[in-house]
């Protein structure tokens, strides 16, 4: 029992009080979608992003160093209208490099410890240091006469993606303030007007136009705020959608788990009584309770036969139900070696084959297919069981597996049994359908085995071809799609009308 | 003759199984819950445990008990387990012969219900023989 899901309390008289939680309330209730419920990205993604920013920063450091080295060619810069940059690119690169080493060390530490608070602090520190260094670069490159100031937008956009709106607004505010402060200090003479252009009158000429500086700075700030508004709005929408999808995924996973447990329980509860009846029948037949009169022995044998048949039938009905719902749910597929699965299935069929005097001959080459492993077991087990049950004593069932021409796989199960009349072949995949010849030959068949084969084939887009001749045997050929071709739910449903129906027409 | 413990919540099944094993000359005790089984094993160590997988209070109670026995060093450690399950091969419990003896499935072997009682008796005899030969080798 999951204690947290139940409301249990004790009153003064030590009587336990319990109230059944209603569906849709309490801990079992589905989570309601709350706007803004996911202001941050997941912690893992934030740490990976912090590491990624550090990698990008090395590129900036390299660019700054390369720019600084241009000073080594004193004639080059004036030739393209630029002036010597003195030492500032190296200083900026050094500050960024040292800070980056610190960020990197911290981010790697966070990747191991998953400290939620630390990741955000790391990202904040990265942004603040970047903005400060960028302001220095803006000053030396030319705050008004170049477009370097628009590099603030990178940080604004990134903060919109990684932070809640209020925080990204703060980043936008810091960027605007630093830029305005830089221009103001230059205009008031506190800072020398630097700039990369060799023409010293360029900035002075801009200053001669009344209001030009104010207009340029205002325009830049308005642009950044508009970009912040649009990006943060879109980012919040995407994050909300992400959170909704994650919530839906959690619910689906829970439902799938619950269904699986229910299926296990149901199988157990239905099979266990038959196991008990069967075991008790055996105690009678094996004489543990004393000898039985021959007539009573016959009755008990019939009881045992019907009991086993009913158990098999119930099991196959459950399998069919399970496969039916599998068509509407995401598949838990793996890339499997069909030869390996077939070896397991052949081992399962061997005792029945021995009992019925049928030889099983397997020629299995490794061939891969993407499918639910349990579905493959059901598919092969039922085909093998079918082949063994409808073989004559002394007959042979051949199983082959080989890679297909287009990267898929081909599996063949062939018997030398009673065969199927041509007019009845199209119906053999129907649930509970059994031919007259089949019933005469083997009363144990439930008529569900090939219906299970059909369902698995539909779900996994496996082409099934049947070749049969009465009295000479039947050959089932399964053609699996290439392991590189993923099965989508839409394709599965579209294929329902195709696949087997095409084979039926043969 | 060996002392065997059957742990199965289905008393009808356990009773029939016990009858077959007693006919084979073994002393058999039945417990219907894993918790009671631990107590019983503490009182007298069985030579082999025949264990069901699913119990009404715990869907994987058999696995848990098998792991408990594996973890125990002194009293219960090393008791071979033959697991019987009604849900195995056609339903996705996702264990198979390859898992036998692993931490996931620390048992000597498993059989699927319904089980042929002759097969069960043979399997029990084989496992007991294996245990005896291991013990003899250890002593040598």
Q: Span A287-292, mean pLDDT?
A: 90
CB contacts, 8 Å: B15 with chain A: 280
CATH of domain A331-504: 3.30.565.10
Give the pLDDT confidence of A18-35 residue by residue, as tens digits.
Answer: 777 665 544 444 444 444
Task: Name every residue whose Cβ is closer than 8 Å to that of residue A449 and which is 6 or more positions away in sequence.
Answer: A316, A382, A383, A385, A386
Better-scored residue on pLDDT, A18 or B5: B5
Across all residues in chain B, what is the average pLDDT?
83
Number of A–B residue contacts, CB under 8 Å: 80
Q: B115 to chain A, minimum CA–CA distance in Å?
A: 7
Confidence (pTM): 0.56
pLDDT(A470) > 60? yes
Structure tokens at B76: 């219960």
Among the partner residues A271, A288, A344, nearest to B113 by beta-carbon distance: A271
Q: Are A100 and A57 in contact (CB under 8 A)?
A: yes
Query: Counting beta carbons within 10 angstroms of the beta carbon of residue A404, is it exposed (0 to 12), middle (13 to 18) or buried (19 or more)?
Result: middle
Nearest to A390 by CA among A415, A410, A370, A426: A415
Angle between helices A88-113 and A116-141 (to 10 degrees): 170
Q: Span B34-49, mean pLDDT?
A: 92
Better-scored residue on pLDDT, A198 or A1: A198
A306 vs A302: CA distance, rounded Å: 6
**Any idea which residue has 């649009």 for tokens?**
A230
Structure tokens at A449: 């085995």
Beta bridge partners of A11: none
Q: Span B3-25, mean pLDDT?
A: 94
Domain residue spans of chain A? 43-252, 331-504
Residue-wise DSSP of A33-57:
--TT---S--HHHHHHHHHHHHHHH
Contact yes or no for A282 and B117 at CB 8 A: yes
HSE-CB for A496 with a 13 A CA cutoff: 9
A312 vs A382: CA distance, rounded Å: 12
Give the pLDDT confidence of A296-334 residue by residue, as tens digits.
Answer: 999 999 998 888 888 888 878 877 777 776 666 667 788
> Does residue B73 belong to the interface with chain A, where contact is any CB pair within 8 Å?
no
Structure tokens at A339: 């030869």
Residues 76-115 of B with CB under 8 A from A: 86-87, 89-94, 96, 113-115
Give the range among A88-97, A259-268, A296-305 with minimum mean pLDDT: A259-268
Contact yes or no for B90 and A308 at CB 8 A: no
Better-scored residue on pLDDT, A171 or A484: A171
Nearest to B49 by CA among B116, B99, B2, B103: B2
- pLDDT at B117 (0 to 100): 93
- pLDDT at A269 (0 to 100): 80
Residue A266 confidence class, pLDDT cut points 50, 70, 90: confident
CB contacts, 8 Å: B59 with chain A: 261, 264-265
Contact yes or no for B19 and A283 at CB 8 A: yes
Task: Name every residue whose Cβ is closer than 8 Å to that of residue A31 and which is 6 or more positions away in sequence.
Answer: A247
Nearest to A400 by CA among A454, A473, A312, A475: A475
Contact yes or no for A286 and B116 at CB 8 A: no
Residue A55 confidence class, pLDDT cut points 50, 70, 90: very high
A19 in helix, strand or coil?
strand
- pLDDT at A506 (0 to 100): 31
Task: Name every residue whose Cβ is closer than 8 Å to that of residue A248 and which is 6 or more positions away in sequence.
Answer: none
Contact yes or no for B16 and A282 at CB 8 A: yes
- pLDDT at A348 (0 to 100): 83
- pLDDT at A21 (0 to 100): 64
Better-scored residue on pLDDT, A139 or B106: A139
- pLDDT at A255 (0 to 100): 82
pLDDT(A503) > 50? no
Residue B69 confidence class, pLDDT cut points 50, 70, 90: confident
Q: Span B53-69, mean pLDDT?
A: 85
Contact yes or no for B113 and A275 at CB 8 A: yes
**Complex ipTM:** 0.84
Task: Examine residue B48 and say whether the peptide bond preceding it is cis (omega within 30 degrees of 0).
Answer: no
- pLDDT at A152 (0 to 100): 93
Give the range among A470-474, B24-28, B77-81 with minimum mean pLDDT: B77-81
> Does residue B126 belong to the interface with chain A, where contact is any CB pair within 8 Å?
no
pLDDT(B15) > 70? yes
Contact yes or no for B87 and A377 at CB 8 A: no
Percentage helix, strand, coil for chain B under 3-state DSSP, each rounded to 5? 45, 20, 35
B130 vs B79: CA distance, rounded Å: 12
CB contacts, 8 Å: B87 with chain A: 264, 267-268, 271
Give the pLDDT confidence of A107-161 residue by residue, as tens digits.
Answer: 888 877 766 678 888 888 999 999 999 999 999 888 888 888 889 999 999 889 8
Instruction: Compute, in degrees rounded to 10, the torsion defined by CA atoms A436, A441, A442, A448.
Output: -40
Q: Span A476-501, mean pLDDT?
A: 59
Burial track A251-277 (b if 16+ CB lie within 10 A, e otherwise): eeeeeeeeeeeebbebbbebbbebbbb
Q: Span B108-122, mean pLDDT?
A: 89
CATH architecture of B3-139: 3-Layer(aba) Sandwich (3.40)
Phi, psi of A505 (to 5 degrees): -70, -15
A102 vs A67: CA distance, rounded Å: 24
- pLDDT at B63 (0 to 100): 86
Tell me the residues of A at the B interface, defined by beta carbons under 8 Å apart: 260-261, 263-265, 267-268, 271-280, 282-283, 286, 288-289, 308, 311, 315, 318-319, 344, 348, 374, 377-378, 381
Instruction: Please give the order of strands across the beta sheet that includes A463-469.
Output: A359-364, A396-403, A409-415, A473-480, A463-469
Give the range among A260-269, B9-18, B127-136 with minimum mean pLDDT: A260-269
Strands (E), A284-427: 334-337, 359-364, 368-371, 396-403, 409-415
Task: Name every residue whose Cβ is closer than 8 Å to that of residue A380 and which is 6 or more positions away in sequence.
Answer: A341, A342, A345, A411, A413
């Amino acid at each position: 029992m999951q204690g947290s899901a139940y409301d249990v309390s004790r009153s003064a008289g030590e009587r336990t009080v319990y109230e059944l939680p209603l569906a849709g309330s309490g801990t079992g209730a589905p989570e309601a979608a709350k706007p803004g419920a996911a202001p941050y990205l997941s912690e893992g993604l934030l740490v990976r992003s912090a590491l990624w920013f550090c990698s990008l920063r090395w590129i900036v450091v390299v660019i700054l160093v390369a720019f600084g080295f241009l000073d080594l060619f004193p004639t080059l810069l004036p030739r393209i209208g630029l002036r010597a940059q003195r030492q500032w690119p190296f200083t900026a690169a050094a500050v960024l490099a040292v800070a980056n080493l610190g960020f990197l060390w911290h981010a790697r530490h966070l990747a191991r410890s998953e400290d939620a608070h630390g990741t955000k602090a790391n990202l904040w520190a990265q942004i603040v240091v970047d903005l400060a260094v960028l302001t220095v670069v803006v000053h030396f490159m030319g705050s008004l006469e170049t477009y370097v100031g628009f590099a603030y937008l990178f940080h604004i956009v990134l903060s919109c993606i990684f932070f809640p709106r209020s925080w990204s607004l703060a980043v936008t505010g810091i960027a605007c303030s630093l830029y305005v402060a830089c221009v103001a200090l230059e205009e008031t003479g506190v800072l020398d007007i630097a700039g990369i252009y060799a023409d010293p009158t360029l900035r002075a000429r801009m200053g001669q136009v009344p209001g030009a500086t104010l207009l340029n700075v205002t325009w830049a700030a308005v642009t950044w705020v508009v970009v912040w508004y649009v990006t943060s709005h879109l980012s919040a929408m995407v994050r909300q959608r992400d959170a909704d999808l994650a919530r839906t995924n959690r619910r689906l996973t829970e439902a799938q788990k619950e269904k699986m447990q229910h299926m296990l329980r149901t199988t157990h509860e239905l099979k266990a009584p038959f196991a008990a009846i069967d075991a008790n029948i055996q105690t009678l037949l094996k004489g543990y309770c004393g000898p039985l009169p021959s007539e009573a022995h016959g009755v008990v044998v019939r009881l045992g036969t019907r009991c086993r048949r009913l158990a098999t039938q119930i099991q196959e009905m459950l399998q069919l139900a399970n496969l039916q719902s599998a068509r509407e749910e995401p598949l838990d597929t793996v890339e499997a070696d069909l030869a390996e699965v077939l070896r397991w299935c052949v081992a399962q069929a061997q005792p029945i084959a021995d009992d019925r005097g049928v030889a099983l001959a397997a020629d299995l080459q490794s061939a891969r297919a993407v499918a639910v492993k349990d579905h493959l077991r059901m598919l092969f087990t039922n085909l093998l069981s079918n082949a063994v049950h409808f073989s004559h004593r002394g007959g042979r069932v051949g199983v082959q597996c080989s890679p297909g021409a287009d990267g898929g796989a081909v599996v063949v199960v062939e018997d030398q049994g009673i065969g199927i009349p041509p007019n009845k072949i199209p119906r053999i995949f129907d649930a509970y359908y059994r031919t007259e010849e089949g019933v005469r030959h083997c009363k144990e068949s439930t008529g569900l085995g090939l219906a299970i084969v059909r369902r698995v084939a539909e779900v996994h887009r496996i082409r099934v071809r049947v070749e049969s001749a009465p009295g000479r045997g039947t050959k089932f050929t399964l053609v699996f799609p290439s392991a590189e071709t993923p099965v989508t739910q839409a394709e599965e449903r579209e294929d329902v009308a195709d696949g087997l129906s095409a084979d039926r027409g043969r | 003759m060996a002392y065997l413990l059957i742990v199965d919540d289905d008393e009808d099944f356990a009773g029939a199984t016990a009858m077959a094993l007693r006919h084979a000359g073994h002393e058999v005790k039945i417990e219907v819950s894993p918790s009671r089984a631990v107590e019983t094993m503490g009182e007298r160590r069985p030579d082999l445990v025949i264990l069901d997988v699913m119990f009404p209070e715990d869907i994987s109670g058999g696995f848990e008990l098998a792991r408990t026995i594996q973890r125990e060093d002194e009293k219960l450690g090393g008791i071979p387990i033959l697991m019987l399950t009604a849900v195995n091969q056609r339903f996705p419990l996702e264990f198979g012969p390859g898992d036998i003896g692993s931490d996931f499935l620390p048992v000597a072997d498993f059989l699927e219900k319904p089980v042929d009682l002759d097969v069960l008796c043979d399997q029990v005899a084989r496992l007991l023989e294996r245990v005896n030969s291991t013990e003899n080798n250890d002593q040598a």
